[in-house]
Each structure stands twice: as structure tokens, then as C-alpha cells.
């Protein structure tokens, strides 16, 4: 049976079969149901899409109770599904992934108004107005497709659980826990077939990931929260951004924060140690950004930004042939006298990313002519050999060295200011 809806319908609607009796009768679809553009449809009771059911929503679909899908839920031109509860929690259940174009969440009737047991996928805009979408306790998954984004996210409306971002666009995860919105962000992966999940935990990581097992230079690790960011499919790498808030992040981490003393740290499961991934802090927006060497568990840490010897990084590059600041230059000083300084420096690596997180330069043997001059060069870069445009870039600097304490690894990040216009 094929049903095409061209006008506003409110109340009980039974498509293709009978339904049960209750306070609010169910809407059951066992055939083909199409909501055309400019059309509004409301279901007062639960909506159930059976295995044989096909729902195409290109209009506006109001769902006031629970939503169950064992068949096909999709769109052609793009519609809006409005989850607006008025009589308690709304459950999202079923065996099949529901493909929505736009979705709105507005339910203030319950502490956990949206209970996600199934897979819900949004291709365009997710509007968080009121109510938390909880899949942590119910086993579901919230998916944002290639162009998916969200608006209105707040402490009172976000996703408490895992969020998967598919595609090649940058993304802020609308995640939180314990009634706090605590986003993480990734730059754009390389291809539309890439996928990364993100989740926030308002939990001390120490029970699972001992905080006393930390790498050189890490002074204090966040004892209140952590995130997981995992590459689920694809081969891309991204820049990771974590946020901090006074309401959740320990004062010891943020007190006296500077651009270079709050880093992102990652739990290295292979070696059972927290490792410093570096980072640059944006003090105004309370975020830290860096390129990471792996994925999994992350949190924030205060690090010792005072090196025992002098490291000078000249982060202004004027690649215009005028003989001034023609390349990205760094100097490691003091190593010949002070045994606490850099000794036997090796494996100097410099990686440069553009503002979208795309790697434009990489050199694992930096120096001796192998330097960044404003051109896209090295492995895994785009437009190799071409001059890059004037702008702000992000660099990662790493090297191995020795001091009185033995072998050490140094990692730092920062912004590089490139001018390629002829002067």
C-alpha cells in the first residue's frame, strides 16, 4: 500500500494495518508512506515503521511519542523530523538506521527525555532546543553525515553518548555528560569515507588509566573528565581540539593558563602511560588544539613549559625571496655546557597543517637544507611543490634528545605565520 500525504494530518493514522489501543493509539506503517514538501504530519502516539514499511519524509513530520524503525526511513529532497515530547520520555528503537535530513529535539518532560536505542543519522541540521539525547545508557548511536551539523547545543540539550561523524568536513561533537555540554572538535578528514567517533566522560580517568603513569614533562593531569576520539574507518589523521570549563575542569589545570602550558595528553595503551600530545591553547575560547600521534582516550594536562635550555622557534616565514625569514627556523641552544640541556639531538620532525587541518608539509630530518620555505613538500602533503598562500598555519615540532635524566622526547605545537606575496 502506498500513501502520499499532501496536507496536514494530526491524530491517529494507521497505514496498512491495524494498531493497538492505549492512551495514545500507535501509528503503524507497513507500506509506502511519503510526506511531500510543504506537508505537515503529526503522530500523537508512538510511530512504528514495520519491516515492510518505507517512510520518505520531504515535508515536516511531528513525532510526539516514541519512534521505532525496522524498515526504511529516508528522504529525497530533505524534510524535518520534529521530536517534540509532551507526555514523558521518547524512545528511539528498532533494528534499522533511520536516515533523517533535518531533526529537532524539544522535550522537557523528563530528566532523560530522548532515549536512543537504535542508530539515528542526520544529513543536515540537528537542532537541539530542550532535552538530552542519551545513548550511553541505551546502546544507540547518533550519526552526522558528510554535511551534518548542529545548532542550539547547550548544557540542557546535547548528546550524552557516542557520536559518529562521517565524511570530510570539520566537526564539533555535540557531546556532554552529567548535564554539562563539553565538546571536542576535529579538523576535516581527507575523504568522505572517513569516520570518527567522539564521547565525553565526566569521570576521573584514574580508575581505568592511572594518572601517576605519565610521561616526561607532564606535571598534572585532569582528574575530573576525559574524552574518547577514535578513527572508526578510513586512514585520515586530524587535528584534535578539546575544551575546558570552570564548571568541570579542575582549577589546578586552568589556573594561570598560558598558550603553551595546557596540553592534550593521550593514554598510550601499548605502554600503559599518559603521553604528551602537545597543543596550543586558545585562552579566549578555552580550547587546546594539536595533531595527535594516535587515537583513543584523551584529556587535558598542565605541562612544564620551562625547558632546561633555550629553544628558539622563529614562526614568521616570509617566502618571497627577500633574504629575510625565508624559512621556518629553529635553534636548540645551550647543549654544549649544561648537562640538563639538549644533547645528541636527533630525529627532528616538522609537520605543517593549513587552517583546515590538512597536512601541507612534513620532514622527518629537518635542517641541513630540508626546511619549510612556504611550499607544499614532503610525504602525505597536498599540491606538492606548489607555493602555499599567505596565512596562518599550524606546526608540530618533535625531536629526541638526551640530558642528565636520560633519553627524552620533545613535542610542541604552535602557529606559523606565512607570507608568500612578493615584496
DSSP states of 139-169 as a string?
A: --EEEE-TT-EEES-BTTBSEES-EEEESSS
Q: What is the CA radius of gyration of the chain?
A: 26
Query: Does 315 share its domain with 185?
Result: no
Same domain, residue pair 165 and 296:
yes
Dihedral class, residue 109 (left if φ above 0, else alpha if ψ from -120 to 50, else beta): alpha
Q: 273: helix, coil or strand?
A: strand
Q: Is 21 exposed, middle or buried (0-12, 13-18, 19+ CB in 10 A)?
A: exposed
Residue position matching grid coordinates 550519526: 143
Asked whether residue 43 falls in the same domain as residue 100, the answer is yes
Q: List the grid coordinates of 263.
A: 596540553
Distances (CA, A) of 111 to 60, 92, 182: 26, 16, 18
Could you tell me if 395 and 255 lie in one domain? no
Say whether both 148 and 269 belong to one domain: yes
Question: Are both 276 and 371 inside the same structural domain?
Answer: no
Q: In this structure, how many other beta carbons lie within 10 angstroms of the beta carbon of residue 245?
A: 13
For residues 183 and 272, membership in a common domain is answered with yes
- Structural domain for 249, as ranges: 2-303
258 lies in the same domain as 162: yes
Q: Do residues 382 and 389 lie in contact, with contact meaning Cβ atoms separated by under 8 Å?
A: no
Residue where one domain finishes, among candidates 243, 269, 303: 303
Cell output for 420: 608568500
pTM of the complete model = 0.85
Biggest distance spanned by C-alpha atoms of the chain? 87
Of 277, 303, 329, which residue sits at a domain end? Answer: 303
Please tell me whether residues 338 and 282 are part of one structural domain: no
Burial environment of residue 35 by CB neighbours within 10 A (0 to 12, 13 to 18, 19 or more): buried
Domain count, the chain: 2
Shared-domain flag, residues 125 and 151: yes
Helices of type H across 163-317 = 251-254
Q: How far apart are CA 150 and CA 162, in angstroms?
A: 15
- What is the residue-level pLDDT of the chain in tens, covering all 423 positions? 566 555 444 433 444 333 333 455 789 999 999 999 999 999 989 999 999 999 999 999 999 999 999 999 999 999 999 999 988 999 999 999 999 999 999 999 988 999 999 999 999 999 999 999 999 999 999 999 999 999 999 999 999 999 999 999 999 999 999 999 999 999 999 899 999 999 999 999 999 999 999 987 899 999 999 999 999 999 989 999 999 999 999 999 999 888 778 999 999 999 999 999 989 899 999 999 999 989 999 999 998 766 656 677 888 888 776 767 888 888 765 544 455 566 677 888 899 988 888 888 998 888 877 889 888 875 445 555 678 889 989 998 888 887 777 777 778 788 889 988 744
Tell me phi and psi for residue 356, to 5 degrees: -95, 5
Q: Which domain-ending residue is among 245, 275, 303? A: 303
User: Rounded to whole angstroms, how far apart are CA atoms 219 and 286?
Assistant: 20
Task: Please state the separation of Cα 384 from the chain's center in Å.
Answer: 28
Q: 289: helix, coil or strand?
A: strand
Amino acid at each position: 500500500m502506498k500513501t502520499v500525504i499532501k496536507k496536514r494530518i494530526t491524530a491517529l493514522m494507521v497505514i496498512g494495518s491495524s494498531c493497538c489501543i492505549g492512551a495514545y493509539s500507535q501509528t503503524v506503517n507497513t507500506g509506502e508512506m511519503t510526506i511531500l514538501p510543504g506537508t505537515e504530519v503529526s503522530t500523537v502516539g508512538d510511530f512504528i515503521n514495520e519491516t515492510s514499511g518505507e517512510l520518505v519524509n520531504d515535508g515536516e513530520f511531528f513525532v510526539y511519542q516514541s519512534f521505532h524503525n525496522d524498515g526504511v526511513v529516508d528522504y529525497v529532497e530533505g524534510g524535518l523530523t520534529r521530536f517534540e515530547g509532551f507526555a514523558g520520555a521518547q524512545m528511539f528503537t528498532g533494528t534499522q538506521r533511520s536516515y533523517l535530513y533535518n531533526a529537532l529535539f524539544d522535550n522537557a518532560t523528563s530528566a532523560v527525555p530522548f532515549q536512543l536505542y537504535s542508530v539515528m543519522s542526520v544529513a543536515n541540521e540537528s537542532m537541539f532546543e530542550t532535552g538530552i539525547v542519551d545513548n550511553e545508557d541505551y546502546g544507540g548511536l547518533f550519526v552526522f553525515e558528510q554535511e551534518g551539523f548542529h545548532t542550539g547545543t547547550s548544557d540542557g540539550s546535547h548528546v550524552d553518548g557516542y557520536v559518529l561523524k562521517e565524511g570530510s568536513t570539520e566537526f564539533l561533537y555535540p557531546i556532554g555528560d552529567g548535564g554539562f555540554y563539553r565538546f571536542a572538535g576535529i579538523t576535516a578528514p581527507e575523504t568522505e569515507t572517513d569516520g570518527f567517533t567522539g564521547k565525553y566522560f565526566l569521570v576521573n580517568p584514574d580508575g581505568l588509566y592511572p594518572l601517576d603513569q605519565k610521561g616526561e614533562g607532564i606535571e598534572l593531569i585532569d582528574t575530573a573528565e576525559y574524552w574518547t576520539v577514535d578513527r572508526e574507518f578510513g586512514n585520515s589523521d586530524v587535528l584534535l581540539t578539546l575544551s575546558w570549563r570552570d564548571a568541570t575542569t579542575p582549577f589546578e589545570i586552568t589556573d594561570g593558563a598560558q598558550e603553551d602550558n595546557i596540553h592534550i595528553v593521550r593514554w598510550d595503551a601499548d605502554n600503559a602511560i599518559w603521553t604528551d600530545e602537545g597543543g596550543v591553547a586558545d585562552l579566549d575560547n578555552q580550547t587546546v588544539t594539536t595533531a595527535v600521534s594516535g587515537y583513543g582516550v584523551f584529556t587535558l594536562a598542565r605541562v612544564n613549559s620551562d625547558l632546561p635550555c633555550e629553544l628558539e622557534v622563529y614562526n614568521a616565514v616570509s617566502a618571497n625571496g627577500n633574504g629575510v625569514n625565508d624559512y621556518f627556523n629553529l635553534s636548540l641552544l645551550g647543549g654544549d655546557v649544561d648537562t640538563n640541556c639538549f644533547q645528541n639531538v636527533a630525529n627532528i620532525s616538522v609537520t605543517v597543517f593549513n587552517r583546515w587541518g590538512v597536512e601541507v608539509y612534513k620532514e622527518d630530518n629537518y635542517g641541513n637544507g630540508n626546511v619549510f620555505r612556504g611550499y607544499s613538500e614532503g610525504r602525505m602533503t597536498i599540491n606538492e611543490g606548489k607555493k602555499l598562500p599567505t596565512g596562518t598555519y599550524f606546526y608540530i615540532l618533535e625531536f629526541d634528545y638526551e640530558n642528565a635524566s636520560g633519553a627524552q622526547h620533545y613535542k610542541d605545537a604552535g602557529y606559523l605565520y606565512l607570507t608568500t606575496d612578493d615584496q
